[in-house]
A and B are shown apart, each in its own frame.
Chain A
Amino acid sequence: MSEMKILDKAKLAEFIEKLGADFEVIVPQREDGNLVFGSLDHTQPVVEFTGKPLVPPKEYLFPQREELLTFTVKGKEIRVEAHLDNVKRVIWGIRPCDLAGIKTLDTIFLSNYTDNYYQARRENTILMGLNCNEPCSSGFCSPLGTGPFAKDSFDLLFTDLGNRFLIETGSEAGRELVASSADLFAEARDADKAKLKELEEKCKRAFKSPLPSTVDLATVSNKLSGAWSDALWTEESETCILCGGCNFVCPTCHCFNVEDVPAEQQGVSTRVRYWDSCQLGGFTQMAAENTRRTQAERLRQRVFHKLVYIPDKYNGAVGCTGCGRCIEVCPGEISITNILGRVMVK
């Protein structure tokens, strides 16, 4: 049963400081005009912010570069050591699109074979979401139903009501954290709950997207499948520079490459996992041939993986959370909403 509480904005710092005693607290921070997730030094205040950091918080569960194992070889003696990260973290200020992304990453990393590294980090991470009172410049979560307000996948969910936050608990862990600082919280009143609804509707109405106000994901999937051989993939990928940016900033992208990196000492090497990108030519390169040789095929793969394959494979899991970052980060000005807009009218 979800509880609803009120936290005065002035008390947020105290709540966060208390958390800091037991957790590393990660919040969006402002640096040189950029919003980036970072570890909060408890002497700094949590900044008010609009929009979201360009790189999603997935990297706290699935880092850009992660050392998995170290091998030490001495003749026939080989030692294998694992490096699991068990640091307790709270990530605060996660937008609904990113919460939805983490939900999908949970499905991908924890099903079939449980990824030990993701699991260790995930079990030690508390997710505190922050609803969006206004659309961000490229987001299209509202048509997809993944935002601007979150429905699940959080331990605590904050909504900015002006001078105070409305907080919904989403898990036992969330409830406990509220309970342990009970003196900071008040009960939410009916008026607060009504304001919640009002803010959500207001934000939804303010969306300006090439897509209609709601989009049925099953229809999108069907329309895309029908457009498999369409010329639009060649047209839309003309300006792709193969930078990988779209994958790196995507809340659900999880493809990686594992390399065994020799260390300086003789016989020592480290198995390292790196973020990878299906937009790079080498991603599907084999000894004799490449199974996706054109940029058109690679762009199609990215869009299909998110909007057709992931929902198919994982029972309706969301592959694209509508955050719009891939549009912002593209030096080729490629836009997934333009592509979807074209596909929907076919």
Chain B
Amino acid sequence: MKKILTTCEFCGCGCNFYLGVEDDKVTAVYPSTSHQVSQGKLCVKGWMGHEYIHSAERLKTPLIKEGDKFREASWDEAYQLIADRLRQTKERYGSDSIVMSSSAKCTNEENYLLQKLARAAIGTNNVDHCARLCHASTVIGLSQTFGSGAMTNSIPEIGSADVIFVIGSNTTEQHPLVADQIVKGVKKGARLIVADPRQIQLTKLAALHLSHRPGTDVALINGMLNVIIAEDLVDREFVDSRTEGFEELKEAVAGYTPRKAAKITGVPAEKIVEAARIYARGKKGTIIYAMGITQHTTGVDNVTSCANLAMLTGNVGKESTGVNPLRGQNNVQGACDMGTLPNVFPGYQAVTNDELRQKFEKAWGVKLPSQPGVTVTEAINKMIAGEIKALYIMGENPMISDPDMSHTEKALKNLGFLVVQDIFLTETARLADVVLPGVSFAEKDGTFTSTERKVQRVRKAIEPVGSSRPDWEIITELSSYLGYKMDYPSPREVMDEIAKLTPSYGGISYDRLERGGLCWPCPSPDHPGTPYLHKEKFARPGGKGKFFAVPYRPPAELPDDEYPFTLTTGRTGFHWHTGTMTRKDWALDREYPKGYVEINPQDAANTGIRNGAMVKVASRRGEISVQANVVDTIQEGLVFIPFHFAEAAANKLTAANLDPVAKIPEYKVCAVKLERG
């Protein structure tokens, strides 16, 4: 049996393990005890979640839609058709009528090549990916406050913090090896504060659980800031030497007394005061957050508030502190780093910056578009309006993952041309004109960048199944059909090119990665990588962190008489996103074969809904029928639906209410009604 060391394909923890291979099949998993994050441990997805690789439903050949059925086609025919249609679309409607949607599951090399394809071969900056749906708020919020939109510290440091503030993250289920650090920390005496409208598993270990109303995070944190300033718990030295904007902040939070914050959030004032004191008095306080903070119309404000809190107490630029967004996908951090974003090239270098753009023009040998492109969430409306004519999707299932499903469906069906490159015939792929079979993480080489900015190797363990091809090969081959040559012997050389153009990846090479992962910034071949950021100065020009005064704004759609419940959507630890991989795995499917809606017992009693009975949940956008799970871990007035189950799709109900700057949808709050049956 061969054992191939690789990086997990599921979450942003970035665990490593060995895939055991026999007869070109993945048959075993062995943890890596020497890995700094994994430390020989894995969640159930790591141990048992890889059966989908060999599912009989894997796409094995290109497919072309004829009428309403697919037929098999050769690669040449598929590429030729795609190239012809894209060229025609470009000629008639312009390059910006085409959008390319990249995959946060695919490798850095693949993401780099896809944005290169969009920019150099097609001539558009319309390239984006699912970070738009999860951490777009982070990228903007932390960029404007710290100068860098990424997790400030590394995962192994968390266990040595003395105060851990988890807000909007069900860490045990979504980032299990980060939760392990939290458990270790608490066992060593750290005090844990959990802010979540639901009771999550970590609540059992928490010194304090703040059960705030969904969408009131700014008020909650402003309340804490108010207390910290009022009780003189501010880290004056840090604020004076390393930040700017304190006076504006002080003025802005003066009105958010504990009582006012309590009124807005529903959290008792004494708890807000206690939370502030615990966090501010800690020597090493760390903030950990995820979708509960980012997926709001006030997502950027929520993130900014976290940054405010950390800076006010001197909890940045030191070990075991910081503001730590937990990036969900195995490579969403990398996808962002590689510039599959409409406004920046790889390394967050602005497309509008002439000097930087010229650097890329020189490297890529072609003139590049200088205006920022459209985000995927805005593109949906443009598709309906007929302004976007063609969409190329790699490794994503927007039919189930985008908000307001009927809207998404309308948009996708209005396209002139849709290509989907994926490993299964997803709900989105079914709508495509051409489907290209890519491969899983086990069938190709490349790198993923985890949530702690660690770039790690993904190593090919088995051959691509059927006639499927590694996604990077597909992109380069398609590129020649489009008339722009991309010639790389292997992903290694792609990374070499990335390193030349991306300062934070400057010192990254496959040779170095053989000895282990590297945390960017890693600007040169002898730089050891950077476990935590902002040590001496912030990455902002001028070196200082900036406070932003953030007023509380309520969510876009609150409950009313017609739709009296708040719906918040989320995940479980056993399925991954739209379930395309995990619902084909017996072990994971056995845990949750069906969707469900969590309802508070009082609400259930009032609406006559019994545990296990079917419930109709409806919003202004649509309606689903789903099984009730009556639990006392959720607030009255709130229901929770995981979005993994296409036949009970949570996103039929959600609304495409976007953060005005980040354009991220408010998945965490919309209004619904419940009915028996």
A and B touch in the complex (CB under 8 A): yes
- For the complex formed, measure the closest distance between the CB of A327 and the CB atoms of chain B, giving whole angstroms: 11
Residues in B neighbouring A32, C-beta threshold 8 A: 5, 32, 34
Q: Tell me the chain A residues, 314-331 only, with Cβ under 8 Å from chain B.
A: 328-331
CB neighbours of A276 from chain B (8 A):
587
The stretch of B115-123, B179-187, B364-372 that contacts the partner chain:
B179-187
Q: CB < 8 Å: which of A33, A63, A245, A282 contacts B42?
A: A245
Chain A residues positioned under 8 Å from B205 (CB to CB): 238-239
Q: State which of B5, B43, B590, B591 has its C-beta within 8 Å of the C-beta of A31.
A: B5
Q: A38-B1, A242-B573, A285-B590 are in contact. Are A33 and B33 (CB under 8 A)?
A: yes
- Asked whether any CB of chain A lies closer than 8 Å to the CB of B543, the reply is no
By the criterion CB–CB under 8 Å, are A329 and B586 in contact? no
Q: Determine if B43 and A331 form an interchain contact, defined as CB atoms under 8 angstroms apart.
A: yes
Is the CB of B282 closer than 8 A to any CB of chain A?
no
Contacts of B33 in A (CB 8 A): 33-35, 54, 328
In the complex, which residues of chain A have a beta carbon less than 8 angstroms from the beta carbon of B179? 241, 331
Q: Any chain A CB within 8 A of the CB of B406?
A: no
Q: Which of A36, A239, A333 contacts B201 (CB 8 A)?
A: A239
A64-B27 contact, Cβ under 8 Å, with A31-B3, A259-B586, A274-B586: yes
A243 within 8 A of B: yes
B29 touches A64 (CB 8 A): yes
A280 interface residue (CB < 8 Å to B): yes
Question: Contact check: which of B30, B32, B587 meets A280 at CB < 8 Å?
Answer: B587
Contact of A274 with B587 in the complex, beta carbons under 8 Å: yes
Shortest CB distance B112–A (Å) = 26
Q: Is the CB of A59 closer than 8 A to any CB of chain B? A: yes
Contacts of B172 in A (CB 8 A): 239, 241
Confirm or deny: B47 has a beta carbon within 8 angstroms of a beta carbon on chain A.
yes
Q: Please give me the residue from chain B that is nearest to A51 by CB atom.
A: B33
Chain B's interface size range is: 35 or more
| CB under 8 Å from chain A, chain B span 1-54 | 1, 3, 5, 18, 20, 27-34, 40-44, 46-48
- Asked if B47 and A245 sit within 8 Å, CB to CB, the answer is yes
Whether B204 is near chain A, meaning CB under 8 Å from some CB there, is yes
Chain A's closest residue to B18 (CB) is A36
Q: In the bound complex, do residue B587 and residue A36 qualify as a contact, i.e. CB atoms below 8 Å apart?
A: no
The CA of A277 and the CA of B47, in the complex, are separated in Å by 11
Asked whether, in the complex, the Cβ of B56 is within 8 Å of the Cβ of A280, the reply is no
- For residues 239 through 254 of chain A, which have their beta carbon under 8 Å from a beta carbon of chain B? 239, 241-245, 248
List chain A residues, Cβ under 8 A from B173: 241
In the complex, chain A residues whose CB is within 8 Å of the CB of B40: 54, 328-329
Chain B residues with Cβ below 8 Å from A285 are 590
Point out which of A59, A238, A243, A329 has the most chain B C-beta atoms below 10 A from its C-beta.
Answer: A243
* Residues of A contacting B31 in the complex (Cβ-Cβ under 8 angstroms): 54-55, 245, 329
B183 to A: closest C-beta gap in Å:
5
In the complex the two chains form, is A330's CB within 8 Å of B590's CB?
no
A31, A32, A54, A276 — which one has the most chain B CB atoms within 10 A of its CB? A32
Taking the complex as formed, is B521 at the interface, i.e. its CB lies under 8 A from any CB of chain A?
no
| Residue A2 is within 8 A (CB to CB) of chain B in the complex | no
Is there a chain A Cβ closer than 8 Å to B638's Cβ?
A: no
**A27 CB to closest chain B CB, in angstroms?**
13
B197 an interface residue at 8 Å Cβ cutoff?
no
What's the A-B contact tally at a CB cutoff of 8 Å? 115
Chain B residues within an 8 Å CB radius of A243? 41-44, 46-47, 176
From B29, B173, B187, B586, residue with most partner A Cβ within 10 Å:
B586
B289-320 interface bits toward A, Cβ cutoff 8 Å, 1 = contact, 0 = none = 00000000000000000000000000000000
B residues in contact with A282, CB < 8 Å: 587, 590-591
Tell me whether A39 is interfacial, beta carbon within 8 Å.
yes
A64-B187 contact, Cβ under 8 Å, with A243-B43, A257-B586 = no
Question: Known: A64-B29, A244-B48, A259-B586. Contact between A333 and B180, CB under 8 A?
Answer: yes
A212 on the interface (CB 8 Å rule)?
A: no
Which residue on B lies nearest to A265, using beta carbons? B56
Contacts of B46 in A (CB 8 A): 243
How many Å lie between the Cα of A134 and that of B499 in the bound state? Answer: 46
Min CB gap A31→B, angstroms: 7
- Given A239-B183, A242-B573, A259-B586, the answer on whether A31 and B41 have CB atoms closer than 8 Å is no
Q: How many whole Å from B46's CB to the nearest CB in chain A? A: 8
CA distance A31 to B19 in the complex (A): 13
Expressed in whole angstroms, the minimum distance between the Cβ of A210 and any Cβ of chain B is 14
Question: A residues within 8 A CB of B184?
Answer: 333
Among residues of B, the one whose C-beta sits closest to the C-beta of A37 is B30
Q: Which of A86-111 contact B (CB under 8 A)?
A: none
Q: Which of A36, A64, A242, A333 is in CB contact (< 8 Å) with B183?
A: A333
CA distance A248 to B29 in the complex (A): 10
Please tell me if the beta carbons of B56 and A264 are within 8 angstroms of each other in the complex: yes
Separation in Å of the A206 CB from the closest CB of chain B?
22
Question: CB distance B30 to A54 under 8 Å?
Answer: yes
Report the Cα distance A339→B332, complex, angstroms. 40
Q: Report the bound CA distance from A344 to B204 in whole Å.
A: 26
CB-contact partner of B591 in A35, A280, A331, A332, under 8 A: A280
Find out whether the CB atom of B187 lies under 8 angstroms from the CB atom of A333.
Answer: yes
- List residues of A (256-270) whose CB comes within 8 Å of B's CBs: 257, 259, 261-264
Question: Which of chain B's residues have a CB closer than 8 A to the CB of A244?
Answer: 44, 47-48, 587
Distance of A193 Cα from B539 Cα, bound (Å): 66
**CB proximity of B290 to chain A, nearest CB, Å:** 16
Candidate in A36, A239, A244, A329 with the most chain B CB atoms within 10 angstroms: A239
User: How far is the CB of B7 from the nearest CB of chain A, in Å?
Assistant: 13
Q: Give A264 to B27 CA distance when docked, in angstroms.
A: 18
Q: Does B656 contact A (CB under 8 A)?
A: no
Closest CB-CB distance, B197 to chain A, in whole Å? 21
A332: chain B residues at CB < 8 Å are 180, 183
* Complex-state Cα separation, A332 to B182, whole angstroms: 9
Q: Is B177 an interface residue (CB 8 A)?
A: yes
Of all chain A residues, the one with the shortest Cβ separation from B591 is A282
Q: Which of chain A's residues has its CB closest to B44's CB? A: A243
Shortest distance in angstroms between B447's beta carbon and chain A's nearest beta carbon?
16
List, in ascending order, chain B residues with CB within 8 A of A38's CB. 1, 3
Q: Nearest A residue to B574 by beta-carbon distance?
A: A242
Tell me if A79 is interfacial: C-beta within 8 Å of chain B.
no
Q: How far is the CB of A80 from chain B (nearest CB, A)?
A: 20
- CA–CA, A59 to B18, complex, Å? 15
- B177 near A331 with CB under 8 A, answer yes
B27 proximity list for chain A (CB < 8 A): 63-65
B155 → chain A, closest Cβ, in Å?
A: 12
Q: How far is the CA of A285 from the CA of B590 in the complex (A)?
A: 8
* A20 interfacial by beta-carbon distance below 8 Å: no
Q: Which B residues touch A239, using CB under 8 A?
A: 172, 183, 201, 204-205
The answer to whether residues A331 and B176 also contact, given A32-B5, A238-B205, A244-B44 and a CB cut-off of 8 A, is yes
Query: A331 vs B177: C-alpha distance in the bound complex, in angstroms?
Result: 6
Selected A-B contacts with CB under 8 Å, 8 pairs: A33-B33, A38-B3, A242-B573, A243-B41, A244-B44, A245-B42, A262-B56, A282-B591
Lowest 10 A-B CB distances belong to which pairs? A33-B34, A282-B590, A331-B180, A64-B28, A65-B27, A331-B41, A238-B204, A243-B44, A282-B591, A243-B43
Since A31-B18, A54-B31 are in contact, a sample of 8 more A-B pairs with Cβ atoms closer than 8 Å, ordered by chain A residue number, is A33-B33, A34-B34, A36-B18, A55-B30, A238-B204, A243-B46, A244-B44, A329-B40
